[in-house]
A and B are shown apart, each in its own frame.
Chain A
Amino acid sequence: MEFTGSQTIAATRAQVWNGLNDAAVLQACVPGCEEFVAHSDDEYKAVVVASVGPVKARFKGTLQLLDRDGPNGYRIIGQGEGGIAGFGKMTATVTLADADDGGTLLTYVAEAQVGGKLAQIGSRLVTSVANKLAAEFFKRFNATMSASADAANPATAK
Protein backbone atom coordinates (compact mmCIF):
# COMPACT_ATOMS: atom_id res chain seq x y z
CA MET A 1 0.00 0.00 0.00
CA GLU A 2 2.86 2.33 -0.80
CA PHE A 3 2.59 5.38 -2.96
CA THR A 4 5.25 7.53 -4.54
CA GLY A 5 5.78 11.03 -5.82
CA SER A 6 8.50 13.41 -6.90
CA GLN A 7 9.35 17.09 -7.17
CA THR A 8 12.06 18.78 -9.19
CA ILE A 9 13.38 21.63 -7.08
CA ALA A 10 15.29 24.64 -8.41
CA ALA A 11 17.97 24.53 -5.69
CA THR A 12 21.20 22.60 -5.14
CA ARG A 13 21.19 19.27 -3.36
CA ALA A 14 22.97 20.82 -0.34
CA GLN A 15 20.34 23.57 -0.12
CA VAL A 16 17.52 21.03 -0.35
CA TRP A 17 19.14 18.89 2.31
CA ASN A 18 19.45 21.91 4.62
CA GLY A 19 15.78 22.67 4.00
CA LEU A 20 14.78 19.14 4.88
CA ASN A 21 16.48 19.64 8.25
CA ASP A 22 15.24 23.16 8.93
CA ALA A 23 12.38 23.40 11.43
CA ALA A 24 11.00 26.61 9.93
CA VAL A 25 10.91 25.09 6.44
CA LEU A 26 9.26 21.89 7.66
CA GLN A 27 6.65 23.86 9.56
CA ALA A 28 5.76 25.81 6.45
CA CYS A 29 5.21 22.52 4.58
CA VAL A 30 2.67 21.03 6.97
CA PRO A 31 -0.81 22.10 5.83
CA GLY A 32 -2.83 23.61 8.69
CA CYS A 33 0.12 23.72 11.10
CA GLU A 34 -0.71 25.80 14.20
CA GLU A 35 2.24 24.96 16.44
CA PHE A 36 5.66 23.48 15.74
CA VAL A 37 8.20 23.02 18.53
CA ALA A 38 11.54 21.18 18.48
CA HIS A 39 11.50 18.42 21.05
CA SER A 40 14.98 17.13 20.23
CA ASP A 41 17.35 17.28 17.25
CA ASP A 42 15.26 14.91 15.24
CA GLU A 43 11.79 15.22 16.70
CA TYR A 44 9.25 18.02 16.55
CA LYS A 45 5.91 18.36 18.29
CA ALA A 46 3.12 19.86 16.24
CA VAL A 47 -0.52 20.85 16.41
CA VAL A 48 -2.22 20.54 13.05
CA VAL A 49 -5.74 21.25 11.84
CA ALA A 50 -6.37 18.57 9.25
CA SER A 51 -9.07 19.55 6.78
CA VAL A 52 -10.04 16.91 4.23
CA GLY A 53 -13.56 16.72 2.83
CA PRO A 54 -16.04 16.62 5.69
CA VAL A 55 -13.31 16.21 8.31
CA LYS A 56 -11.82 19.21 10.05
CA ALA A 57 -10.15 18.20 13.29
CA ARG A 58 -7.20 19.32 15.40
CA PHE A 59 -4.46 16.72 15.86
CA LYS A 60 -1.50 16.75 18.22
CA GLY A 61 1.40 15.01 16.64
CA THR A 62 5.06 14.49 16.13
CA LEU A 63 7.35 14.71 13.16
CA GLN A 64 10.44 12.50 13.38
CA LEU A 65 13.49 12.44 11.16
CA LEU A 66 15.32 9.11 10.95
CA ASP A 67 18.19 7.48 9.05
CA ARG A 68 19.73 10.82 8.09
CA ASP A 69 22.14 10.38 5.22
CA GLY A 70 23.01 13.89 4.03
CA PRO A 71 22.73 15.03 1.36
CA ASN A 72 21.10 11.87 -0.03
CA GLY A 73 17.94 11.51 1.98
CA TYR A 74 16.19 10.34 5.14
CA ARG A 75 13.02 8.90 6.52
CA ILE A 76 10.33 11.19 7.87
CA ILE A 77 7.52 9.95 10.11
CA GLY A 78 4.48 12.08 10.86
CA GLN A 79 2.09 10.90 13.51
CA GLY A 80 -1.13 12.50 14.67
CA GLU A 81 -3.20 11.74 17.73
CA GLY A 82 -6.72 13.19 17.63
CA GLY A 83 -7.90 11.87 20.99
CA ILE A 84 -11.29 10.26 20.49
CA ALA A 85 -10.96 10.73 16.72
CA GLY A 86 -8.18 8.16 16.45
CA PHE A 87 -4.73 8.44 14.99
CA GLY A 88 -2.97 8.70 11.67
CA LYS A 89 0.61 7.91 10.78
CA MET A 90 2.57 8.46 7.60
CA THR A 91 6.11 7.32 6.83
CA ALA A 92 7.96 8.70 3.83
CA THR A 93 11.41 7.72 2.59
CA VAL A 94 12.89 10.74 0.86
CA THR A 95 15.70 10.43 -1.69
CA LEU A 96 17.61 13.31 -3.29
CA ALA A 97 19.44 13.20 -6.60
CA ASP A 98 20.97 15.81 -8.90
CA ALA A 99 18.57 16.76 -11.68
CA ASP A 100 19.78 17.42 -15.24
CA ASP A 101 19.24 21.18 -15.15
CA GLY A 102 21.28 21.81 -11.99
CA GLY A 103 18.30 21.44 -9.69
CA THR A 104 17.48 18.58 -7.38
CA LEU A 105 15.12 15.68 -7.89
CA LEU A 106 13.30 14.76 -4.68
CA THR A 107 11.45 11.44 -4.73
CA TYR A 108 9.45 9.89 -1.92
CA VAL A 109 7.94 6.52 -1.18
CA ALA A 110 5.26 6.78 1.49
CA GLU A 111 2.92 4.60 3.44
CA ALA A 112 0.01 5.54 5.71
CA GLN A 113 -2.00 3.99 8.50
CA VAL A 114 -5.04 5.12 10.46
CA GLY A 115 -6.72 3.75 13.55
CA GLY A 116 -9.68 4.43 15.82
CA LYS A 117 -12.74 6.28 14.58
CA LEU A 118 -10.82 7.76 11.69
CA ALA A 119 -10.36 4.23 10.38
CA GLN A 120 -14.04 3.44 10.93
CA ILE A 121 -15.16 6.09 8.47
CA GLY A 122 -11.94 6.48 6.54
CA SER A 123 -10.16 3.18 5.98
CA ARG A 124 -11.28 3.00 2.34
CA LEU A 125 -9.95 6.54 1.82
CA VAL A 126 -6.56 6.28 3.53
CA THR A 127 -4.40 5.91 0.45
CA SER A 128 -6.10 8.65 -1.58
CA VAL A 129 -6.10 11.11 1.30
CA ALA A 130 -2.53 10.31 2.43
CA ASN A 131 -1.34 10.64 -1.16
CA LYS A 132 -2.97 14.05 -1.38
CA LEU A 133 -1.47 15.22 1.96
CA ALA A 134 2.03 14.02 1.02
CA ALA A 135 1.79 15.68 -2.39
CA GLU A 136 0.75 18.92 -0.70
CA PHE A 137 3.65 18.67 1.80
CA PHE A 138 6.30 18.24 -0.90
CA LYS A 139 4.69 20.80 -3.21
CA ARG A 140 4.91 23.35 -0.40
CA PHE A 141 8.48 22.24 0.29
CA ASN A 142 9.35 22.80 -3.35
CA ALA A 143 7.76 26.26 -3.34
CA THR A 144 9.60 27.23 -0.15
CA MET A 145 12.97 25.96 -1.42
CA SER A 146 12.65 27.46 -4.88
CA ALA A 147 11.68 30.83 -3.37
CA SER A 148 14.63 30.89 -0.96
CA ALA A 149 17.07 29.72 -3.66
CA ASP A 150 15.86 32.59 -5.84
CA ALA A 151 16.34 35.02 -2.98
CA ALA A 152 19.90 33.75 -2.36
CA ASN A 153 20.84 33.98 -6.05
CA PRO A 154 18.87 36.92 -7.45
CA ALA A 155 20.73 36.62 -10.77
CA THR A 156 19.11 33.25 -11.45
CA ALA A 157 15.67 34.36 -10.29
CA LYS A 158 13.04 33.90 -12.94
Chain B
Amino acid sequence: MYETTYLRAGSLDEAVAWLREHEEARPLSGGMTLIPTLKQRLAAPSHLVDLTRIDALRGVRVDGDRLFVGALTKHAEVAASPVVASALPALAQLAGVIADPQVRNRGTMGGSVANNDPAADYPCAVLALDATVVTSQRRIAADDFFVDTFETALEPGELVTGFEYPLPLRGAYAKFRQPASGYAIVGVFIAQFADRVRVAVTGAGASVFRWQDAERALGDDLSEAALGNLKVDETMLPDDANGSAAYRAHLIETYTRRALQALLAQPRR
Protein backbone atom coordinates (compact mmCIF):
# COMPACT_ATOMS: atom_id res chain seq x y z
CA MET B 1 0.00 0.00 0.00
CA TYR B 2 1.19 3.53 -0.73
CA GLU B 3 1.24 6.13 2.02
CA THR B 4 -2.01 8.02 2.37
CA THR B 5 -3.62 10.39 4.87
CA TYR B 6 -6.62 9.04 6.76
CA LEU B 7 -9.41 11.48 7.58
CA ARG B 8 -12.47 10.47 9.61
CA ALA B 9 -15.50 12.53 8.67
CA GLY B 10 -17.95 13.37 11.46
CA SER B 11 -20.61 14.66 9.12
CA LEU B 12 -21.62 14.57 5.48
CA ASP B 13 -20.70 18.25 5.06
CA GLU B 14 -17.23 17.61 6.42
CA ALA B 15 -16.72 14.63 4.06
CA VAL B 16 -17.87 16.62 1.02
CA ALA B 17 -15.64 19.57 1.98
CA TRP B 18 -12.59 17.33 2.31
CA LEU B 19 -13.27 15.66 -1.04
CA ARG B 20 -13.53 19.11 -2.65
CA GLU B 21 -10.36 20.30 -0.97
CA HIS B 22 -8.22 17.29 -1.92
CA GLU B 23 -8.57 16.43 -5.58
CA GLU B 24 -6.87 13.04 -5.24
CA ALA B 25 -8.86 11.97 -2.17
CA ARG B 26 -11.16 8.93 -2.24
CA PRO B 27 -14.17 8.31 -0.03
CA LEU B 28 -13.96 5.12 2.05
CA SER B 29 -17.06 3.23 3.10
CA GLY B 30 -16.84 -0.52 3.78
CA GLY B 31 -13.68 -0.64 1.67
CA MET B 32 -14.46 -4.08 0.26
CA THR B 33 -13.14 -3.12 -3.18
CA LEU B 34 -11.04 -0.06 -2.42
CA ILE B 35 -8.85 -1.54 0.33
CA PRO B 36 -7.77 -4.63 -1.68
CA THR B 37 -7.05 -2.26 -4.60
CA LEU B 38 -4.86 -0.10 -2.36
CA LYS B 39 -3.07 -3.16 -0.97
CA GLN B 40 -2.21 -4.19 -4.53
CA ARG B 41 -0.88 -0.67 -5.17
CA LEU B 42 -3.36 -0.20 -7.96
CA ALA B 43 -4.41 3.20 -6.63
CA ALA B 44 -2.66 5.90 -4.63
CA PRO B 45 -5.19 8.40 -3.27
CA SER B 46 -3.64 11.30 -1.34
CA HIS B 47 -6.35 11.05 1.32
CA LEU B 48 -8.92 8.50 2.42
CA VAL B 49 -12.08 10.16 3.73
CA ASP B 50 -13.69 7.60 6.03
CA LEU B 51 -17.46 7.94 5.92
CA THR B 52 -18.35 5.09 8.27
CA ARG B 53 -18.79 7.21 11.41
CA ILE B 54 -21.47 9.41 9.86
CA ASP B 55 -24.30 7.79 11.80
CA ALA B 56 -26.99 9.85 10.06
CA LEU B 57 -26.37 7.79 6.89
CA ARG B 58 -27.10 4.44 8.52
CA GLY B 59 -30.37 2.58 9.11
CA VAL B 60 -33.63 1.55 7.48
CA ARG B 61 -37.20 2.78 7.83
CA VAL B 62 -40.50 2.53 6.03
CA ASP B 63 -42.51 5.65 5.31
CA GLY B 64 -45.81 5.08 3.49
CA ASP B 65 -45.14 2.98 0.42
CA ARG B 66 -41.37 3.53 0.41
CA LEU B 67 -38.41 1.88 2.10
CA PHE B 68 -35.50 4.18 2.97
CA VAL B 69 -32.04 2.69 3.41
CA GLY B 70 -29.06 4.82 4.49
CA ALA B 71 -25.97 4.52 2.30
CA LEU B 72 -23.79 3.24 5.15
CA THR B 73 -26.14 0.38 6.07
CA LYS B 74 -24.18 -2.87 5.93
CA HIS B 75 -25.33 -5.87 3.92
CA ALA B 76 -25.68 -7.97 7.10
CA GLU B 77 -27.89 -5.27 8.65
CA VAL B 78 -30.21 -5.27 5.62
CA ALA B 79 -30.28 -9.08 5.61
CA ALA B 80 -31.24 -9.27 9.31
CA SER B 81 -33.58 -6.26 9.47
CA PRO B 82 -37.18 -7.09 10.47
CA VAL B 83 -38.25 -3.83 8.78
CA VAL B 84 -36.77 -4.90 5.42
CA ALA B 85 -38.00 -8.49 5.87
CA SER B 86 -41.58 -7.32 6.23
CA ALA B 87 -41.61 -4.47 3.66
CA LEU B 88 -39.30 -5.77 0.94
CA PRO B 89 -38.25 -9.36 1.71
CA ALA B 90 -36.51 -9.82 -1.66
CA LEU B 91 -34.01 -7.10 -0.72
CA ALA B 92 -33.20 -8.81 2.60
CA GLN B 93 -32.77 -12.11 0.78
CA LEU B 94 -30.46 -10.49 -1.81
CA ALA B 95 -28.35 -8.85 0.92
CA GLY B 96 -27.96 -12.25 2.58
CA VAL B 97 -26.39 -13.84 -0.51
CA ILE B 98 -23.82 -11.12 -1.26
CA ALA B 99 -20.24 -12.46 -1.19
CA ASP B 100 -19.40 -13.95 2.25
CA PRO B 101 -20.05 -13.07 5.93
CA GLN B 102 -16.89 -10.95 6.18
CA VAL B 103 -17.94 -8.77 3.25
CA ARG B 104 -21.55 -8.58 4.46
CA ASN B 105 -20.38 -7.26 7.82
CA ARG B 106 -18.20 -4.51 6.34
CA GLY B 107 -19.60 -3.66 2.92
CA THR B 108 -22.29 -1.00 2.58
CA MET B 109 -25.15 -0.48 0.15
CA GLY B 110 -23.87 2.98 -0.83
CA GLY B 111 -20.37 1.66 -1.50
CA SER B 112 -21.58 -1.24 -3.61
CA VAL B 113 -23.91 0.88 -5.73
CA ALA B 114 -21.44 3.77 -6.17
CA ASN B 115 -18.72 1.31 -7.26
CA ASN B 116 -21.07 -0.27 -9.84
CA ASP B 117 -19.08 -3.45 -10.29
CA PRO B 118 -20.68 -5.23 -13.26
CA ALA B 119 -21.26 -8.35 -11.09
CA ALA B 120 -22.48 -6.67 -7.89
CA ASP B 121 -25.89 -7.64 -6.47
CA TYR B 122 -27.32 -4.38 -5.12
CA PRO B 123 -27.35 -2.50 -8.46
CA CYS B 124 -29.73 -5.20 -9.70
CA ALA B 125 -32.23 -4.46 -6.90
CA VAL B 126 -31.89 -0.69 -7.29
CA LEU B 127 -32.61 -0.91 -11.03
CA ALA B 128 -35.42 -3.51 -10.89
CA LEU B 129 -37.18 -1.69 -8.06
CA ASP B 130 -36.89 1.69 -9.81
CA ALA B 131 -35.28 3.11 -6.69
CA THR B 132 -34.13 6.69 -6.30
CA VAL B 133 -30.47 7.20 -5.43
CA VAL B 134 -30.18 10.15 -3.07
CA THR B 135 -26.82 11.94 -3.09
CA SER B 136 -25.17 14.84 -1.30
CA GLN B 137 -26.49 17.14 -4.03
CA ARG B 138 -29.51 15.63 -5.83
CA ARG B 139 -31.86 12.70 -6.44
CA ILE B 140 -31.09 10.34 -9.34
CA ALA B 141 -33.51 7.80 -10.84
CA ALA B 142 -32.06 4.28 -11.09
CA ASP B 143 -32.52 4.32 -14.88
CA ASP B 144 -30.18 7.32 -15.09
CA PHE B 145 -27.68 6.20 -12.46
CA PHE B 146 -25.85 3.19 -13.92
CA VAL B 147 -23.81 4.22 -16.97
CA ASP B 148 -21.17 1.57 -17.78
CA THR B 149 -18.64 -0.74 -16.13
CA PHE B 150 -17.68 1.00 -12.85
CA GLU B 151 -19.27 4.18 -14.17
CA THR B 152 -22.27 5.98 -12.67
CA ALA B 153 -23.92 9.38 -12.93
CA LEU B 154 -22.05 10.47 -9.78
CA GLU B 155 -19.80 13.48 -10.18
CA PRO B 156 -16.43 13.85 -8.46
CA GLY B 157 -17.01 14.68 -4.80
CA GLU B 158 -20.66 13.62 -4.95
CA LEU B 159 -21.59 11.05 -2.29
CA VAL B 160 -24.51 8.62 -2.17
CA THR B 161 -26.42 9.26 1.06
CA GLY B 162 -29.27 6.77 0.75
CA PHE B 163 -31.88 4.94 -1.30
CA GLU B 164 -35.65 5.19 -1.62
CA TYR B 165 -37.28 1.96 -2.78
CA PRO B 166 -40.92 2.06 -3.88
CA LEU B 167 -42.47 -1.08 -2.36
CA PRO B 168 -43.49 -3.62 -5.01
CA LEU B 169 -46.42 -6.03 -4.68
CA ARG B 170 -43.87 -8.82 -4.92
CA GLY B 171 -40.22 -9.17 -5.78
CA ALA B 172 -37.61 -11.90 -6.06
CA TYR B 173 -33.90 -12.29 -6.77
CA ALA B 174 -32.25 -15.41 -8.22
CA LYS B 175 -28.49 -15.65 -8.50
CA PHE B 176 -25.88 -17.98 -9.93
CA ARG B 177 -22.83 -17.39 -7.73
CA GLN B 178 -19.21 -17.52 -8.71
CA PRO B 179 -18.21 -20.20 -6.18
CA ALA B 180 -15.00 -18.51 -4.98
CA SER B 181 -15.86 -14.82 -4.88
CA GLY B 182 -19.62 -15.01 -4.42
CA TYR B 183 -20.05 -12.43 -7.19
CA ALA B 184 -23.01 -12.97 -9.49
CA ILE B 185 -22.11 -14.72 -12.72
CA VAL B 186 -25.76 -13.94 -13.40
CA GLY B 187 -28.30 -12.39 -11.05
CA VAL B 188 -31.89 -11.53 -11.99
CA PHE B 189 -34.27 -9.37 -9.94
CA ILE B 190 -37.97 -9.22 -10.86
CA ALA B 191 -40.23 -6.59 -9.29
CA GLN B 192 -44.02 -6.63 -9.72
CA PHE B 193 -45.76 -3.29 -9.26
CA ALA B 194 -49.47 -2.57 -9.65
CA ASP B 195 -48.98 -1.20 -13.18
CA ARG B 196 -45.76 -2.81 -14.46
CA VAL B 197 -43.09 -5.45 -14.07
CA ARG B 198 -39.37 -4.65 -14.10
CA VAL B 199 -36.59 -7.17 -14.72
CA ALA B 200 -32.93 -6.30 -14.07
CA VAL B 201 -29.90 -8.44 -14.82
CA THR B 202 -26.46 -8.21 -13.22
CA GLY B 203 -23.20 -10.10 -13.81
CA ALA B 204 -23.85 -10.89 -17.45
CA GLY B 205 -23.05 -7.58 -19.10
CA ALA B 206 -20.75 -4.57 -18.92
CA SER B 207 -23.09 -3.10 -16.31
CA VAL B 208 -26.46 -3.97 -14.80
CA PHE B 209 -29.25 -3.70 -17.40
CA ARG B 210 -33.02 -4.17 -17.81
CA TRP B 211 -34.31 -7.05 -19.93
CA GLN B 212 -37.16 -5.15 -21.52
CA ASP B 213 -38.54 -7.99 -23.68
CA ALA B 214 -39.14 -9.98 -20.50
CA GLU B 215 -40.67 -6.93 -18.80
CA ARG B 216 -43.20 -6.53 -21.63
CA ALA B 217 -44.05 -10.23 -21.70
CA LEU B 218 -44.49 -10.47 -17.94
CA GLY B 219 -46.33 -7.15 -17.80
CA ASP B 220 -49.03 -8.67 -20.05
CA ASP B 221 -49.09 -12.05 -18.35
CA LEU B 222 -47.14 -12.74 -15.16
CA SER B 223 -46.55 -16.45 -15.72
CA GLU B 224 -43.84 -18.82 -16.83
CA ALA B 225 -45.72 -19.40 -20.06
CA ALA B 226 -45.24 -15.72 -20.94
CA LEU B 227 -41.47 -16.19 -20.92
CA GLY B 228 -42.03 -18.95 -23.48
CA ASN B 229 -39.06 -19.09 -25.78
CA LEU B 230 -37.97 -15.51 -25.12
CA LYS B 231 -34.29 -15.20 -26.01
CA VAL B 232 -31.69 -12.73 -24.81
CA ASP B 233 -29.73 -10.88 -27.50
CA GLU B 234 -26.31 -12.56 -27.20
CA THR B 235 -24.48 -9.87 -29.13
CA MET B 236 -24.65 -7.50 -26.16
CA LEU B 237 -23.07 -10.01 -23.75
CA PRO B 238 -19.33 -10.48 -23.16
CA ASP B 239 -17.56 -13.66 -24.15
CA ASP B 240 -14.83 -14.34 -21.62
CA ALA B 241 -13.22 -16.74 -19.16
CA ASN B 242 -16.33 -16.78 -16.94
CA GLY B 243 -18.54 -17.93 -19.79
CA SER B 244 -19.39 -17.56 -23.44
CA ALA B 245 -22.08 -15.14 -24.55
CA ALA B 246 -24.39 -18.06 -25.37
CA TYR B 247 -23.90 -19.55 -21.89
CA ARG B 248 -24.62 -16.21 -20.25
CA ALA B 249 -27.77 -15.76 -22.35
CA HIS B 250 -28.95 -19.20 -21.28
CA LEU B 251 -28.24 -18.39 -17.62
CA ILE B 252 -30.25 -15.17 -17.85
CA GLU B 253 -33.22 -17.06 -19.28
CA THR B 254 -32.93 -19.78 -16.62
CA TYR B 255 -32.50 -17.42 -13.67
CA THR B 256 -35.32 -15.18 -14.85
CA ARG B 257 -37.53 -18.26 -14.70
CA ARG B 258 -36.28 -19.11 -11.21
CA ALA B 259 -36.81 -15.56 -9.94
CA LEU B 260 -40.33 -15.66 -11.39
CA GLN B 261 -41.10 -18.98 -9.69
CA ALA B 262 -39.93 -17.52 -6.35
CA LEU B 263 -42.00 -14.39 -6.95
CA LEU B 264 -45.18 -16.30 -7.81
CA ALA B 265 -44.81 -18.41 -4.65
CA GLN B 266 -45.14 -15.28 -2.49
CA PRO B 267 -48.34 -13.60 -1.29
CA ARG B 268 -48.96 -10.09 -2.64
CA ARG B 269 -48.14 -7.30 -0.24
Binding site for B on A (CB under 8 A): 1-3, 52-57, 82, 84-85, 117-118, 120-121, 123-129, 131-132
Contact = CB atoms under 8 A, between A and B. Distances in A.
A84 B44 CA distance: 13
A132 B205 CA distance: 12
Contacts of A120: 40
A52 B116 CA distance: 11
B43 to A, nearest CB: 5
B178 interface: yes
A153 B178 CA distance: 54
22 contacts: A1-B241, A2-B239, A52-B149, A53-B33, A54-B33, A54-B42, A54-B43, A55-B42, A56-B45, A85-B40, A117-B40, A120-B40, A123-B241, A124-B119, A124-B183, A124-B240, A124-B242, A125-B118, A126-B241, A131-B238, A132-B148, A132-B149
B201 to A, nearest CB: 14
Interface in B194-247: 205-207, 238-242
Contact of B41 (A52, A57, A123): A57
A129 B240 CA distance: 12
Contacts of A52: 149-150
Contacts, number: 77
Interface residues of B, number: 30
A91 to B, nearest CB: 15
Contacts of B116: 53
B117 interface: yes
B115 A54 contact: yes
B24 to A, nearest CB: 9
Interface of B: 33-34, 36-37, 40-45, 115-119, 148-151, 178, 181, 183, 205-207, 238-242
Given A82-B42, A124-B242, A132-B151, 12 more contacts: A1-B240, A52-B149, A54-B42, A57-B41, A120-B40, A124-B181, A124-B240, A126-B240, A126-B241, A127-B238, A128-B118, A132-B148
A147 to B, nearest CB: 24
Contacts of A127: 238-240
Contacts of A84: 41
Nearest to A123: B241
Given A121-B42, A132-B206, A3 B150 contact: no
A84 to B, nearest CB: 6
Contacts of A56: 42-45
Contacts of A132: 148-149, 151, 206
Contacts of B150: 52-54, 129
A119 B178 CA distance: 16
Contacts of B181: 124
A17 B40 CA distance: 40
A111 to B, nearest CB: 11
A126 to B, nearest CB: 6
Contacts of B117: 53, 125
A128 B117 CA distance: 10
B250 to A, nearest CB: 18
Given A1-B239, A127-B239, A57 B206 contact: no
Given A85-B42, A124-B183, A3 B149 contact: no
Nearest to A4: B235
B86 to A, nearest CB: 35
Contacts of B45: 56
